[in-house]
Structure 1
Amino acid sequence: MLFIQDFQDPVPHLLNHEMTLTEFKFIWYMEYSHRMWGRAVGLAYILPAIYFWKKGWLSRGTKGGVLFLCSFVCFQGLLGWYMVKSGLEEKANSYDIPRVSQYRLAAHLGSALVLYCASLWGGLSMLLPQHKLPETHQLLKLRRFAHGTAGLVFFTALSGAFVAGLDAGLVYNSFPKMGDRWIPEDLLTFSPVLKNIFENPTTVQFDHRILGISSVAAITAMYLFSRKIPLPHRTKMALTCLLAVAYLQVTLGISTLLLYVPTPLAATHQSGSLALLSMALWLMHELRRFPK
């Protein structure tokens, strides 16, 4: 009965007219698994936090971080519900394909990335001893470079949510040009112009391309710049891993585009963005200022 009830939602009827109940079950189980996994992640944060807190194993500084993470994981769950809700709202007199709001999808992904980054940073701080690096002018430049690059990688990953939310990966399946042009004609067809950035599939894909290429270029330049600076072995390893994952990720992105976005490859590309962000965060952690 639960499958039949959910089968009445607008998505199966308007998006896939010939979908059978058996086919719908596969999608339903995917969604259900994601929800259950999200709840399991929430419990994995909250239950140990309660136990460690009661045992007195958390320092004063750690308690603040733990409270933030536990609060944020709850916020992430609520944001996920808010996102899904947007795809189940049947609009009167509308013939649009029902889909979740790309804005809410981006917010849900963005908050997940923030939660992941905060967790990873905390883990790295506990597990990896900090280097005492000489505060030279070149090191300061490299540190700023690493911060800017990590921010660029983050926003590139975030822009992927708009690509997914609008199916923008299916608009132009050629590279490096979009069709037969470097700049497509329908780049700014929406009015007002600002609306194109978030709602025009062509502009969304164009922006994602530019951000991706800029990320790889920035990482390459940073790697070459770092070669002039004496760095610890672990820091050099972080730089090398970041460079390698960046080129792997751009290869995955181009392949996904040229092959018309097959789901397994698209999912791998999405996972690659998280791996790239992890490498960027690791490098930031390696270069952080030693406390006095």
Structure 2
Amino acid sequence: MSHPGSRAHLVAEHYNQRPEVGVVRRQDSRIIRLRSFNNWLKSVLIHRHARPNDCVLDLGCGKGGDLNKWAKAKIRHLIAADIAAVSLDQMKDRYQALRDRRFSAEFHALDCYGEELAPLIETHFAVDVVSMQFCMHYAFESERKARIMLENVTCRLRHGGHFIGTIPDANMLVKRLRAQPDDVFAFGNEFYWIDFTNAGLQPDKTGFESPYGTNYMFHLEDAVDCPEPLVHWETFERLAGDYGLRLLYKENFHRFYRRALQEPEYEQLLQRMRVVGGHAPDMSSEEWDVAGIYLAFAFVKDQ
């Protein structure tokens, strides 16, 4: 596990201390539409890549917010791993409470970017899908952590298996930062703010000191309040290639939404999940603005 005082330990403590408020109280969140939109997007991502009887590895699984999505995908086995042990215990409780619990599961509390997962996996199944939702960016503290993360992603992933995830869109973050006045290194709205003041950014905002460890402070109401590393996409894609992964697509959430709506089943799902609207989901312009700082990706293992 991570050492007390390390950045990984601080992130774990942040998520361990976040209370489990339950479904009813979550509806009171000021960003409930954004949460619903993110869940819809993850549902689409999972539906596209997971098949019945698949074995799934959920790295950075948190409190198990995607358990029902895996149940609906009719998977056969779930391997769940997260650095936040308290969150993982809450996921176990959620798993036991599932109405449609027709898949087996195993749970591992470990630093997915600092420890090898392969020796701990109990099942003999090859992994068909690896999912990392809103968490992979924490591996970009260093090249070593990014490589350990990719080793854990691919260690049991079968040939032809998929690696899917969601992360902050570094290109969009930097674009918004550069739109600020020269002496301003932060931006946001009533729901979020991002501060690059101590990120190692050059004074003219044209570059960073390293593709790793460029940490900005991120606050999102009811969700996140901690430092996060920027993911330099070209570096990530190059490293992924070292582990036999080939990019299928990456799309900013806004573009992902517009393309997915061209398929009737996903438009209907949007309505069933109470996220509806015209050119953008039925959320405030500020929430829609937040959605635009993320991207979704999918890789396939070719080697």
User: Shorter chain as normaliser: what TM range?
Assistant: under 0.3
TM, length-normalised to structure 2: 0.27
Q: Which of the two has higher C-alpha Rg?
A: 1
Q: Higher helix share goes to which structure?
A: 1
